[in-house]
Amino acid sequence: MEVPAVSLPVLSALAAGPAPSPSPSTSTGVTPTLQDAQESATHAASWVEENWSTWLSIGLRVLLVLVIAAVLRVFVRRAITKLIDRMSRTAQAVDGTALGGLLVNVERRRQRSQAIGSVLRSVASFLIMGTAALMILGTFEINLAPLLASAGVAGVAIGFGARNLVTDFLSGVFMILEDQYGVGDVIDAGVASGEVIEVGLRVTKLRGDNGEIWYIRNGEVKRIGNLSQGWATAGVDVTVRASEDLDHVRSVIGEVAETISKEEPWNERLWGPIEILGLDSVLLDSMVVRVSAKTMPGKALSVERELRWRIKRAFDAAQIRIVGGPTAPAEEEPLDPTAAVAAPSVFANAESVQSVATAPIPAPAPSSVVPK
């Protein structure tokens, strides 16, 4: 039998035994060496060397923008503060006059200055820092068009949802800037009236006549009647009988006006002489004499009450009678108490001829039979 021939390399391989399994490092790739790490570091260093000037310029631009924005913000805020202080000093200079001391008080100036300064400083900071942020994003070559479009859409949505809040805020800003009213003023806002105790950008607080506090949104105020600016008018109507002597009435009221004008504190609350305007109305049984005076703002009611008090006492002393109004009823004489008593009637006697004639059925005669 013939045996096939086997080559020498095959025999040597079989004699060496089974081949070892490959290591994981050789199966996944080439093992990193020190030379590869050196090459990577060299590439990184070269990339940094090529781009360091670009990053340095970008950093310097960002730093320059931030420094300019911070300096400009500080400068603008100081300028606004000085402007507000100058407004306050101008208001204090007006305090030397009789009218200025009443129109502008310390608390009102303080709150108004704080509100105006806060609004202006906030707006200035928002504009400066917002512009700086956009410039920084532009330095990094970021496309601002999608960002601005998204911000515009978001602003429209927020403005539409919070339109009442925006309306209140803008109305409050213009009310403060125009100095329509301030703390201590008595105003009529339409929806409520009273004394202003706090002025805000969104809400105004009023103290009512009964002590209640009204919170009024500035956007809901359509009209403002300020009763504390300028001067007020005190008017008193005196109704007397039509038979009174007008010259006598005028002289008595004139004496009252002269007396109250010389006494404190009414001489300070009266800003002009008390005038007798004349007859306001003349009726058949009464006439109305109109008395008027220019007073300090907010003091008209107290002056009217004092005038009524003094005029009533002066009229009582002068025996001038004040009647109950323009349609005062005429005095009626007392009625005769016997006028309501009827005359005696013949029908009052049941045995009279008239009573017997009007009786349809005569009364039965009493029976004389005595029952057993």
pLDDT at 17: 47
Average pLDDT over residues 288-308: 87
Q: Which pLDDT tens digit goes with each residue over 84-133?
A: 777 666 655 554 444 444 444 566 676 677 777 777 888 888 889 888 88
Q: Is residue 71 very low, low, confident or very high in pLDDT (cuts 50, 70, 90)?
A: very high
pLDDT at 8: 41
pTM for the full model?
0.48
The vertex-220 CA angle with 188 and 228, nearest 5°, equals: 20
Question: Does the pLDDT at position 289 exceed 70?
Answer: yes
pLDDT at 19: 47
Residue 173 near residue 210, CB atoms below 8 Å: no
Between 11 and 238, name the one with better pLDDT: 238
Query: How far is the C-alpha of 214 from the C-alpha of 197, rounded, in Å?
Result: 10
Q: Name which of 141-150, 198-207, 329-338 the model is least confident about.
A: 329-338
pLDDT at 97: 46
pLDDT at 15: 43
Question: Does the pLDDT at position 175 exceed 80?
Answer: yes
Average pLDDT over residues 299-303: 85
Q: Name which of 65-69, 151-155, 341-345, 353-357 the model is least confident about.
A: 341-345
pLDDT at 344: 61
pLDDT at 98: 43
Q: Name which of 24-33, 106-115, 169-178, 286-295 the model is least confident about.
A: 24-33
pLDDT at 279: 86
- DSSP state string for 100-129: HHHHS-HHHHHHHHHHHHHHHHHHHHHHHH
Question: Does the pLDDT at position 41 exceed 80?
Answer: no
Cα separations (Å) of 206 from 182, 213, 216, 225, 227?
11, 5, 8, 13, 13
Query: How far is the C-alpha of 211 from the C-alpha of 161, rounded, in Å?
Result: 35
Question: Does the pLDDT at position 354 exceed 70?
Answer: no
Average pLDDT over residues 139-157: 76
pLDDT at 75: 92
Query: How far is the C-alpha of 101 from the C-alpha of 117, rounded, in Å?
Result: 23
pLDDT at 173: 81
pLDDT at 68: 92
Question: Does the pLDDT at position 65 exceed 80?
Answer: yes
Average pLDDT over residues 311-322: 88
Question: Does the pLDDT at position 159 exceed 80?
Answer: no
Residue 231 near residue 296, CB atoms below 8 Å: yes
